[in-house]
Structure 1
C-alpha cells in the first residue's frame, strides 16, 4: 500500500470521528463528570489533550461538511489531510457564498490524492485564488492584517535565569521586528576567518545578539536608564580579590561572574571605587575612571583598524580596548599597553591560552597555545593591513 490509509483503516478513523461527534453532541462527557469531550477522550484513550482537541474539532468539522466526511469514509484522503481541508474551508471569508465554499473544499479534496499535508496546507492558503480570484487579493490582505495584529499583540521577550549559570532567552516577534533583528545580527553570525572556528551556528547567533547590545550600550543613542545615567552593566567585586585574580563578581541582576569574566569587563570599563561597610552599605564613593577612551581610543583604532586577533575582520566599533598588562595588575592606560579586540576574541585572550604583545613596529602580535602551533610562532592580523 502507499502512504495513504487503506479504506478499512480510514473507515476506522471515520467511524471514530462519528462516535466522538455523537458523544460531544449528546454531552455524554459532561454527564460522566468530565469538563469537556477532549478531557474525556484524553482519559479514556490515554492521548494528549492536544490530540484530543484536534479530534473533537475534526469531528465537528466533518459533521458540518458532508463531502469531507464522505471523502474520509471512502479513503480519498486521510485524517491529517482532512484536518488541513477543514481548516482551509473554515478560514475562508465568512461572507463567501456556500457554493464557493463547496467548490474550494472539492478542489482541496481532489488535490489530496496528490499532495501530502504540508503541501496541501499551502494549497489551502491559496485556494481562494482558484475559486474566487476577484476576492482573493482583498481577503489575503485582510488575513495578513489579522496575522500581523495577532503577532504584534503576542510579542514578548523574557530572560529566565536557570540557576546553573545559563539564562534562557524566549519570546515572540512579528515579522517586521524579526527582520530588524535578523538584519542586525546576520553580519555578525558568519564564521570567523580562523581555520578553527569552534562555535556552532546557534552559538554564533547568541554571540551576535550580545555584540549588538554591547555596541548599543557603548553608544549615545539609548535613553538614560534612570538617574540620568547611560545604560550600563554594574559588577561589584572587592578590589583586592580582583587584583589577585580571585574575586567573583556580582551583577546588579543578581547573577555571578567568574574572575576571568570580571577582569575582561574591567579592561574597558567605567570603574568607580567604593568603600563598603561590613553589611555592604556604601560608606564612600570615589570618582569614576574611564579607560581607553577619547584620543587614546582614536589612536588605538588608527593603529589596529579593528580587532587585532589574527584572521578577525570585526571593525573598530565592535571592539573593546584591552589592557595587555591588566590595569588591576598595574598596567598603564597607554597606547603601548592597549589592543583592540572584539568581544569573542577578548574572551579568548582572558581565558589565558593565547598571549598578546606588541611586536616589531609597535603592532600587536599573538602567541598561540602549543595545541594550535607547537612552535608557538607569533601571528598578526593581516585582514586590516593596507597594502
Structure 2
C-alpha cells in the first residue's frame, strides 16, 4: 500500500510542477491567467470529488474507535469540525447521492454545486423511493451549467413538486413549519469583549426577525459618500457596524426603553481627571471592567446617556455626572430644529441617531447650551472629539457662526492643506455668508507643534 501511495504522490507532484510552469508562462497576460485559473479550479473540483470517495472508504474500513474525521484532524491541516463536515458529506454522497458524487468526480458539477444540491435534497421527504431520488439528482445535474450553487440548492428543495405534485404543497408547508421551529429553538445572541478594544457580536434569529433586523439596519446604514471627507473608505460591513451604533443611539434617545430599578439603561464610565483634561491615562467601563481610551471617554462625556464618574489622584470621586447636567430635552430640541441631523459635511444620519457634542469641550470650560452644541452621529463624534495632546492643525475643528448659528468644519491639514472650512449641504440654501475666521479660544491651548496625525 505504501508503494501505491508513493507512486501516486510522485504523479501528483509532477502535475503540480506542470501547473506551476504554466503559471510562469502566462504572467503579464490577464486573459490567459484567468483561463488557467479556471482550469485549475476545474481540476481541484475533480480532485475534491475523488477525495470524498476516499474519505468514505476511510470511514467504513477504518479501525474501530477512531473515526476518519479524527485521523484527518490529526494531520493538523484541517479543523476537527471541518473534518467531520467533510466525512458526513462523503457518507451522504455514497449512501444516498451517488449520482451527484459521480458528476462531481467527472467535473460536471463543482464542489460548491454538489454541496448545494445535497443540502437542498436533504430537505425532501425521507419516504422518497430510490428511483425518485435518482430522478431528482439527474434533473439537477442537468441544471449545473445554468445555475450557481445557491440557485441549485433552492431548486433541489422544490423537487418534491416534480416527484409528487399532488402532495408538494403540503410537504413544502410541513418543511417550512419544521424549519421555523428549529430556527426558533436555535435563536441566540452572544455579546462578549475580545479584550482588545472591541465587543464581539454574533448570533442567529428566525428568518422573519432577521429580515426585519436587516431592513432597519439597511435604512440606518450611512452612505459611502458620507465618509468622503474623513479620509476613510469603510466597506459595507464597517458601515453596518456604524448603523448598529446609530440604532442604539435612537433607542437610547427615544425614552421608551424599560426601566430597571427605577432608572433608564445607561453606561457608567470611570476616568481619571488627567485622562479627561490632558488625555493622560484611560477610563474604565464599569459594567465589564474593560479599559477605555481617554479619547473615547471624552466623547462619551458629552452624551446625555452616559454618566461619567471623575476620579482624583487617589481614586476619590470628584464629580458624578447626572444626565440632566448635559444636553437637556429643551436644548436637544433646539439642536434638532437647527441641525436636522448630523452636521458633519456629507453625513445623512437622522437626529434620533445623533449625540450632542460640545464645540468647546466641557472639560475645557465649555457650557451646555445651543450656541456651544451640535448634533453628530457616533462615528463623526469620535472623529472630531478634540485630543489635548495633538496640535489643533491636525484635528477637525468646529466653529459655530455667531450670526446664524450654523456649524462650520475646518478639516485637518493632512486632509486639506488649505484647511478651508466646510458646511453641510443642508445649510447651503439658508443664505449663509463666508465662514467665520476667528479661531476657537480653547484650541489655542492645544500643542502648536503638529504631531504625526496617524
TM range (shorter): 0.7 to 0.9
Cα distance 1:291–1:39, how it changes in 2: closer, same or farther (>3 A)? closer
Q: Distance in 1 between matches of 2:110 and 2:225?
A: 48
Change (3 A) 1:158 1:175: same
Partner of 1:317, secondary structure, is helix
1:183: how far off?
A: 1.8
Cα deviation for residue 204 of structure 1 reads 1.0
Residue number in structure 2 paired with 1:370: 413
Deviation at 1:330, TM superposition (A): 1.5
Aligned counterpart in structure 2 of residue 358 of structure 1, from 400, 404, 416: 400
Distance 2:366 2:168 in 1: 70
Residues 131-163 of structure 1: per-residue CA shift (max 9 Å, x gap): 222222222222222222222222222223222
Could you say which residue in structure 2 is the equivalent of 1:233? 267
Distance, in Å, in 2 between the alignment partners of 1:114 and 1:302 is 55
SS of residue paired to 1:321: strand
Q: In 1, are the aligned partners of 2:52 and 2:86 still within 8 Å (CA)? A: no
**Shift in alpha-carbon separation, 1:52–1:254, aligned structure 2, 3 A:** closer
Q: Structure 1 CA distance, aligned partners of 2:239 and 2:184?
A: 27
Match of 1:153 in 2: 185
- Tell me: CA distance 1:361–1:146, structure 2 relative to 1, closer, same or farther (3 Å): same
Q: Does 1:175 align with 2:240?
A: no
Aligned residues: CA RMSD = 4.0
Q: Does 1:124 align with 2:167?
A: no
Deviations 1:39-66 (A, max 9, x none): 356669987654465446544653567x
The equivalent residue for 1:250 is: 284
**CA distance 1:133–1:345, change in 2 (3 Å):** same
The equivalent position to 1:137 in structure 2, one of 154, 165, 169, is 169
Residues 231 and 172 of structure 1: is their aligned pair in 2 closer, same or farther, counting only changes over 3 Å? same
Q: Residue 266 in 1 paired to residue 309 in 2?
A: no
Q: 1:60 to 1:341 in 2, by over 3 A?
A: closer
CA distance in 2, matches of 1:109, 1:377: 62
- The two structures have a TM-score, normalised by structure 2, of 0.69
Distance 1:88 1:294 in 2: 54
Please state if 1:206 is matched with 2:206. Answer: no
Q: CA deviation at 1:317?
A: 1.9
Give distance in 2, aligned partners of 1:16 and 1:105. 21
Structure 1 residues 242-251 or 192-201, which shifts more? 192-201
* CA distance 1:291–1:285, change in 2 (3 Å): closer
Q: Output the CA distance in 2 between the equivalents of 1:213 and 1:117.
A: 36
The equivalent residue for 1:165 is: 197
Q: Is the 8 A contact 1:10 1:72 kept in 2?
A: no
Distance 1:186 1:267 in 2: 27
Normalising by structure 1, we get a TM-score of 0.79
How far, CA to CA, are the matches of 2:173 and 2:162 in structure 1?
16
Query: Structure 1 150/363 Cα, relative in aligned 2: closer, same or farther at 3 Å?
Result: same
CA distance in 2, matches of 1:160, 1:364: 38
Question: Is the alpha carbon distance of 1:90 and 1:298 closer, same or farther for their aligned partners in structure 2, counting shifts above 3 Å?
Answer: closer
Separation in 2, partners of 1:69, 1:314: 50
Deviation at 1:290, TM superposition (A): 2.5
Superimposed CA distance per residue, residues 96-155 of structure 1 (whole angstroms, 9 cap, x where no aligned partner): 455544533443455568767655434322211222222222222222222222222222
* Separation of aligned partners in 1, 2:354 and 2:301: 14
Identify unmatched segments of 5+ residues in structure 2: 1-38, 388-394, 431-454
Where in structure 1 are there 5+ consecutive unaligned residues? none
Q: 1:73 & 1:231 partners in 2: Cα distance? A: 55
Would the aligned equivalents of 1:307 and 1:319 in 2 still touch at CA under 8 Å?
A: yes
Count how many residue pairs are aligned between Structure 1 and Structure 2: 376
CA shift in 2, pair 1:300/1:122, >3 Å: closer
Alignment of 1:13-162 (within 5 A): 16=54, 19-20=57-58, 23=61, 29-30=63-64, 33-34=65-66, 36-40=67-71, 49=80, 50-51=82-83, 54-55=86-87, 58-59=90-91, 62-63=94-95, 68=99, 80=111, 89-96=121-128, 100-108=132-140, 111=143, 120-162=152-194
The aligned residue for residue 338 of structure 1 is 373
